[in-house]
Structure 1
Amino acid sequence: MRKTAVKWSLYHVFVLVFSLLMLYPVIWLVMSSFKPTNLIFPTAGSLLPSPWTFENYAKGWEGIGNQTFSVFIRNSLVIVVLSTVGAVVSSALVAFGFARLKFAGKAFWFTVMMLTLMLPGEVIMIPQYILFAELGWLNSIKPLVVPSYFGHTFFIFLMIQFIRTLPIELDEAATIDGCNKLTLFYRIILPLILPAIATSAIFSFYWGWENLLGPVLYLNSPAKYPVSMALKMFLDNETVSNWGAMFAMSVVTLLPVFAIFFAFQRYIVEGISTSGLKG
C-alpha cells in the first residue's frame, strides 16, 4: 500500500509539473496582457505585471482599420459556424455512403479520397486561388466556407471507422421496417455516430478559428477580416507594434476555444475511441 501511494504521489507531481510547463506560455500571455506595452519584453522574466493595467483591453477592443474587434469576432463566428456545419453534414453523408452502400468503384474512390489526405495544401493553393478568382469569389467568405460542403477527408475517415463498428443487423431491421437509405441514415446511423460528429465539429471549429492563410489569400477588406487577421494587424513592421493590445485580444479570442474544449472535451476521446454500441 505504501509503495502504491508513493507511485501515485510521484505520478501526480510529475503530471502537475508537466502541466505547468505546458501552460506557462498561456499564463505568460495572460499576464503580459495586463502589462504596459513598453514593459512587456523588458520585464519578460517577471511573470506578474507591475503595474497592472487594463488599457490594453480597451485599446484592443477599439480594433483597427476603423473596425472594432467585435466585428472581427462576428466575422470569425460566421465563417466557423457555416464551415463547421458544412464539413460535418457533408462528411457524415459521404462516410455513410462508403461504410454502408455498394457502388461501382467504391474501393478506387476510397483510395483516391485517402490520397487527398496526404496531399500538401501548398500543392492545391494556386489552382484553388485561380478557380475562386474566375468565379469572382475573392474578397468574400465563399472560398473559406463553400469547400467545406464537399466533405473533409479526415472527418470522413473518422466517421467511416465509427459506422463500421455498428452492427449491420440494424440496417437490415430498418430496411424490413420500410426505411429507405436516407431514412436509415437520418433515423438510425446519425444518432449513433453523434460522438464522431461532435469530435469532427470541435476540430473544425478549432481549425477554422485559427485559420490565417485562407483569409490572407482571399480577403482584402478589413470589414471582412476574422480574428486571426485582426491580431496580425496589430503588428506593424514599419511603425511601433501594439503588443499589449494584441496580447489582450489574443486572450479574448482564446475564451471561445477554452469554452468549447471544456464543454465538449469528453466527445474528443469518445468520438475517437468509442466502438459504436456497447453492452
Structure 2
Amino acid sequence: MTEIQRTAERKSAFVRARIKKICRKAIIYILLTLGAFSFVLPFLWMLSTSFKEYGEIFTYPITWIPRKWTIENYREVFSVSEYVNLWRGFLNTMLIVVPSTTAGVFSAALAAFAFAKIRFPGRDKIFFALVGTMAIPGVITMIPSYMLYNMLGWTNTWLPLMIPGMFGGAGAVFFTRQFMRGIPASLEEAAKVDGMSWWGIFLKIELPLSVPILITNFMFGFLGGYNDYLGPMLYLTGRMEMKTLQQMISMLNDTLGTKWGIQMAGACIAVLPTMLLFLFAQRYFVEGISLSGMKE
C-alpha cells in the first residue's frame, strides 16, 4: 500500500469519525430540545390561557395565541381580595419558607462538614443510614407526623411547616458533604497549624467555599416549600389569614367557580418569584450540582 493510499484511508476514517460525532450530537440535541419543549409546553399553555376570554379556552382547534387579548383574568384575581388574598398568601409563604429553608441549609452544612472532614467512630455508617432515609416515601410518615403535631398542639399553626425543615434534609446533607469533600484538605490542615478550631474552620474556610452548593440547596428547599400544597392543606385548616399562596390559588376555584382563565392568571403570578430566583442563582446552581460529585 502506497503512502498516498494510507493518507487517503486516514482522511476517510477521520471524516467518518467526525460524521458519527456530528450525528451523535445532533441526536442528543434533538432529544434535549424535545424534552425541554415538553417542559415548557404546559407553561406556555398556562400563560396563553391567562390572557384568553373564557369562551376561547376550550375552543377547537386549540389557539395558542389568543384571538382577543384580555387582562380581565388578572383583574379578577385581585378583585376577590376579601376572601382570596394572594398578597397575604405570598407573604405567609415567605414567612414560612425563608426562615425554615435558611436554617435548614445551615444545619445541613454543619452535618455535612462533620461527615466530610471530621473522623469519628461510625461516621460512614451513620451517613449511609441518613442517606437511606431518602428512600422512605413521605406518605408513610404523613399520618404519624400529623398525630404528633396534633398532640403537640401545632395544628393550625405554621410550626409543622417550619420546624422540621430547620434541621435540614438528607438530600441537602448528601450534596453538601460531596461538595465539601472536594475542598482541599491542605486548607484545613494549615488552619489547624495556626490553631483554628473546627468551628472556625467551618465558618471561615468551608462555609465561604461552599457558597454554590448552599445556594443550590436553598433553591431546592425554597421551591419545595413554596410549591407545597399538601402540607398546608393538612395543617392549616382554620383561619384564612394563615393560609399560603398555593392554598389561595386553589381557593380561586371555590370562590369564582371553575374559571380556568383566572386560575391560570393566579398560577402565572405565583410562578414569577421562583423564575426570578432561578435566573439570579443559575450560575451557582449549575456550579453546585456539577461539583458535588468531585473530591480531592
**Normalising by structure 1, what TM-score?**
0.89
Amino acid at match of 2:279: F
SS at match of 1:208: helix
Matched, 1:258 2:275: yes
Task: Tell me, in whole angstroms, the C-alpha distance in 2 between the residues paired with 1:44 and 1:141.
Answer: 45
1:157: which partner in 2?
A: 174
Report the alpha carbon displacement of residue 80 of structure 1 after superposing the two structures with TM.
1.7
Rg larger in structure: 2
Alpha-carbon spacing, 1:44–1:54, altered in 2? closer, same or farther (3 Å): farther
2:189: which partner in 1?
A: 172
Report the alpha carbon displacement of residue 215 of structure 1 after superposing the two structures with TM.
0.4
Superposition map of 1:19-58 within 5 A: 19-42=36-59, 45-58=62-75
Higher mean alpha-carbon deviation, 20-29 vs 222-231, is at 20-29
Do 1:62 and 1:69's aligned partners in 2 also have CA atoms closer than 8 Å? no
Of the candidates 90, 94, 97, which is equivalent to residue 77 of structure 1?
94
Amino acid at match of 1:191: P
Do 1:63 and 1:69's aligned partners in 2 also have CA atoms closer than 8 Å? no
Do 2:181 and 2:294's aligned partners in 1 also have CA atoms closer than 8 Å? no
Report the alpha carbon displacement of residue 242 of structure 1 after superposing the two structures with TM.
2.4
Q: Deviations over 1:33-76 (max 9, x none)?
A: 01123431235711122322111101112346624211111111
1:271: which partner in 2?
A: 288
Structure 1 unmatched ranges of 5 or more: none
Alpha-carbon spacing, 1:9–1:171, altered in 2? closer, same or farther (3 Å): closer
2:240: which partner in 1?
A: 222
Task: Tell me, in whole angstroms, the C-alpha distance in 2 between the residues paired with 1:167 and 1:113.
Answer: 25
- Superposed CA RMSD in Å reads 2.8
Structure 2 unmatched ranges of 5 or more: 1-14
Q: Percent identity?
A: 34
Report the alpha carbon displacement of residue 218 of structure 1 after superposing the two structures with TM.
0.4
> How many residue pairs end up in the alignment?
278
Matched, 1:207 2:224: yes
Task: Tell me, in whole angstroms, the C-alpha distance in 1 between the residues paired with 2:95 and 2:278.
Answer: 19
Alpha-carbon spacing, 1:21–1:157, altered in 2? closer, same or farther (3 Å): closer
SS at match of 2:66: coil
Alpha-carbon spacing, 1:163–1:15, altered in 2? closer, same or farther (3 Å): closer
Report the alpha carbon displacement of residue 108 of structure 1 after superposing the two structures with TM.
3.0
Amino acid at match of 2:154: W
Alpha-carbon spacing, 1:53–1:133, altered in 2? closer, same or farther (3 Å): same
Alpha-carbon spacing, 1:201–1:239, altered in 2? closer, same or farther (3 Å): closer
Task: Tell me, in whole angstroms, the C-alpha distance in 1 between the residues paired with 2:98 and 2:60.
Answer: 39
Higher mean alpha-carbon deviation, 186-195 vs 217-226, is at 217-226
Alpha-carbon spacing, 1:276–1:158, altered in 2? closer, same or farther (3 Å): closer
1:66: which partner in 2?
A: 83
Alpha-carbon spacing, 1:17–1:158, altered in 2? closer, same or farther (3 Å): closer
